Amino acid sequence: MSQGAEDPAIAKLFAVLLAGEYAAFYRLIDESRMAPDVPSGIAIARMAASEIQHFDHLAARLEGTDIDVADAVTRYRSVFDQYHRATTPKTWYEALVKAYVGDGLASDFYSELAGALPESAQAVVAEVMSQTGSSAFAREQVRAAVAADPSLKSPLTLWGRRLLGEAITHAQWVLAAEEEVTDLLFEGATSLQGVAKFFDAVAELHATRMSDLGLG
Amino acid sequence: MSQGAEDPAIAKLFAVLLAGEYAAFYRLIDESRMAPDVPSGIAIARMAASEIQHFDHLAARLEGTDIDVADAVTRYRSVFDQYHRATTPKTWYEALVKAYVGDGLASDFYSELAGALPESAQAVVAEVMSQTGSSAFAREQVRAAVAADPSLKSPLTLWGRRLLGEAITHAQWVLAAEEEVTDLLFEGATSLQGVAKFFDAVAELHATRMSDLGLG
């Protein structure tokens, strides 16, 4: 049994995250079709490749547990696919905001979660998170576009709010369906308080991120 | 200037290979749509991610040369895209044979080329090659399919020959267009002899690979 996945609830959490990385890979690939030029195509390809690195880190931790990697994807991907369908970008800038905000939200979720985990599982989360940051290209492109054409600001700000709303809604569905995971993460606090604080923290970080983009 | 790219001909060779990795990434992604199940989807995603790792190794070696990575992709990708258009698989098994044979051909090209390169450039090629092997899943699936349904053997064998033929044709186009690269690789031998030997060696390795698949 691999280090960090000895607790069935942790293994289940890793399984959910792994399905999210899989869904994110195939979503990025779909959205890469909108890339207007080669540098954007390279940047999106690198982001997609880093989702697979995250996936592989998590998959390695499921080895020796009774969770099969492909089964985990099959079981948990639908909520992520629903999120992506609900937030299909219509323009390249929407795709960029989604890439940047999505990468950031994922990283916030990971880091807020980490505090609730035993040390060995924290290491896995830290490993996965250390490889994000490939979405910086998206931030630079959006900032430049908004500076050059201020009429982009208001619709992209609304878009960013919608991304946050959908992310929280879909995360709540996961928590509602997976009691073991919820108990693992929000044990100690009375559950509702813990969950509410968690989403408040995520919303605050999101607001900072929107400012980084020149939005909000 | 990065180690290994001090010679303009080597930098140009790396630029061509890098464009090939970029084209291969986007081709794999297109072909991943045919994946019949999640394990195949995972395997294809891993192959695609490893193309980007190769890409990044080569890109790192172009830093400090006068070749820009995006320009290299723009300039050299068309011959690879033509190869992929000429070899668009119609079935999932054709896609698997192409993935396995294509990965193998790329690795043969790299290893045959390595002998002609100075030591520092050999190290780059070895680094890139050390990360292949993610196509083993394709071999296992094709072997099992051909064993279960021998009527697949003859059409997939023809398909494999066509892949080799198109690969050689397109490689010759690159060599014809890039004299510097050709001189770098086949210097010493009279050029035509060197090129012929090179393709003979590649064809022999291809034959072994077709046997691995239970074909040919």
pLDDT tens digit string along A164-179?
Answer: 999 999 988 888 888 8
- Write out pLDDT tens, residues B72-99: 999 999 999 999 999 999 999 999 999 9
Give the pLDDT score at A207. Answer: 93
Tell whether B189 is within 8 A of chain A (Cβ): no
Q: How confident is the model at residue B6 (pLDDT cuts 50, 70, 90)?
A: low
Mean pLDDT of the region A179-189:
75
Q: Which chain A residues are within 8 Å of B38, Cβ to Cβ? A: 22, 70, 73-74
- Write out pLDDT tens, residues A36-70: 999 999 999 999 998 999 899 999 999 989 999 99
Could you tell me if residue A168 is inside a domain?
yes
Q: Which chain B residues are within 8 Å of A49, Cβ to Cβ? A: 48-49, 52-53
Judge whether residue A133 has pLDDT over 70.
Answer: no
Could you tell me if residue A84 is inside a domain?
yes
Of B112, B110, B104, whose CA–CA distance to B211 is shortest?
B104
Judge whether residue A111 has pLDDT over 90.
Answer: no
Rounded to a whole number of angstroms, the distance from the CA of B68 to the nearest CA of chain A is 10
Q: How confident is the model at residue A131 (pLDDT cuts 50, 70, 90)?
A: low
Could you tell me if residue B194 is inside a domain?
yes
**B42 and A74: CB-CB below 8 Å?**
no
- What share of chain B in percent tops pLDDT 70? 92
Judge whether residue A186 has pLDDT over 80.
Answer: no
Could you tell me if residue B105 is inside a domain?
yes
Report for A117-126, B61-70, B185-194: range of highest mean pLDDT:
B61-70
What is the C-alpha to C-alpha distance for residues B84 and B80, in angstroms, rounded to an integer?
6
Q: What domain range includes position B173? A: 8-212
Q: Which chain A residues are within 8 Å of B21, Cβ to Cβ? A: none
Could you tell me if residue B2 is inside a domain?
no
Could you tell me if residue B17 is inside a domain?
yes
**A45 and B56: CB-CB below 8 Å?**
no
What is the C-alpha to C-alpha distance for residues B88 and B166, in angstroms, rounded to an integer?
11
Give the pLDDT score at A6. Answer: 65
Q: Specify the range with the lowest mean pLDDT, choosing from A184-193, A197-206, B79-88, B92-101.
A: A184-193
Query: How high is the ipTM of this complex?
Result: 0.86
Q: Tell me how many domains chain B contains.
A: 1
For every residue of A58-124, DSSP letters joined together read HHHHHTTSS--HHHHHHHHHHHHHHHHHHT--SSHHHHHHHHHHHHHHHHHHHHHHHTTS-HHHHHH
Judge whether residue B2 has pLDDT over 50.
Answer: no
**Nearest-CB residue to A45 (from B25, B39, B42):** B25
**B45 and A26: CB-CB below 8 Å?**
yes
Could you tell me if residue A163 is inside a domain?
yes
Report for A101-110, A170-179, B143-152: range of highest mean pLDDT:
B143-152
- What share of chain A in percent tops pLDDT 90? 50
Helices A8-32, A38-62: axis angle to 10 degrees equals 160
What is the C-alpha to C-alpha distance for residues A91 and A31, in angstroms, rounded to an integer?
10
Rounded to the nearest integer, the mean pLDDT of chain B is 86
Q: Which CATH number fits the domain that encloses residue B29?
A: 1.20.1260.10
